[in-house]
A = this chain, B = another copy of it.
């Protein structure tokens, strides 16, 4: 017996099925897509062959012929970031339910790659592109990128989780103002008045909005704004949180509560606080954003703002599909955040 070399085997096509079933390719297509009534016996015969050969129609050809790839492209900053991973999985699930496949592209923080990946998704005939993070987070939109997205939008709707001034991208985003409301309300009600805000870059829209809202709420509550309680421009990781909090302590500043810009940053802040001999939450309360799984890993568990990822992803995909189908609904949709209270936040001490 001749041993068959694996992938030399020609893939089976709709024609092979048709021939063996004694029908036309069109008929096979019809039973596969359920697009028209086919005589039950023929249908049965076709289905049988499909089963027999484990036949799976070529999605490329399908996409080519009806110019519908049924692919939604997802552009993300870094899938290793649990925030994006959660959101991606939610999108994937929603897309699958709607009969779409998602194609993921990571830009890994290199803005130049953002353009490259956008091109790639276009080349793969993505019917819509969802961009989460990256340039759509910028407070001031990059003009070249805006142009590029506008060109893309001529054929392919683009849905973003931030904003891109000068484009008509659909936006689905978290209400940053409200996230800050939740956190401040929580902390204020616990008696905190010296509340620090740590991490993030002001060039990022959501961070900027948080900052504004933070000041606004202080004002409304008659608490003077103290610049020492707000970190200089930082980043969004553990290291940044650690460094910034250390800095604050070194300057002799000691808040009773800290708001970290995300969970990773909070982890760094937590380390700094502990190394300085304070307890959480007895001496200092710590809260953050994103409610990723690491909130449950840290000791104490972290109070954090959740976004209902499942809903977030679903709305992104629904918006994408609506746009594909030509619907031109609201350009901005908002996700309502929710506070998850855990062990890291408690009443303010009385030592102040």
Instruction: Show the binding face of A for B, using Cβ within 8 Å.
Output: 4-11, 54, 56-61, 63-64, 69, 78-80, 82, 85-86, 88-89, 92-93, 101-104, 106, 108, 119-120, 122-125, 148, 151-157, 168, 238, 264, 267, 270-271, 274, 293-294, 296-299, 323-324, 326
Q: How far is the CA of A10 from the CA of B156 in the complex (A)?
A: 10
Are B106's CB and A124's CB within 8 A? no
Contact of A103 among B63, B103, B123 (CB under 8 A): B103
Q: How far is the CA of A55 from the CA of B54 in the complex (A)?
A: 37
Q: How far is the CA of A154 from the CA of B60 in the complex (A)?
A: 19
Are B59's CB and A6's CB within 8 A? no
Are A297's CB and B267's CB within 8 A? yes
Contacts of A264 in B (CB 8 A): 297
Are B267's CB and A156's CB within 8 A? no
Contacts of A294 in B (CB 8 A): 294, 297
Closest to A122 in B: B56
Q: How far is the CA of A64 from the CA of B153 in the complex (A)?
A: 25
Q: How far is the CA of A296 from the CA of B241 in the complex (A)?
A: 13
Closest to A5 in B: B326
CB distance from A151 to the nearest CB of B (A): 5
CB distance from A94 to the nearest CB of B (A): 13
Closest to A6 in B: B153
Contacts of A10 in B (CB 8 A): 155
Q: How far is the CA of A103 from the CA of B151 in the complex (A)?
A: 25
Show 16 A/B contacts (Cβ-Cβ < 8 Å), sorted by A: A6-B155, A7-B153, A7-B157, A60-B61, A60-B124, A79-B85, A80-B85, A80-B86, A89-B106, A93-B108, A101-B120, A103-B104, A238-B296, A294-B294, A294-B297, A298-B298
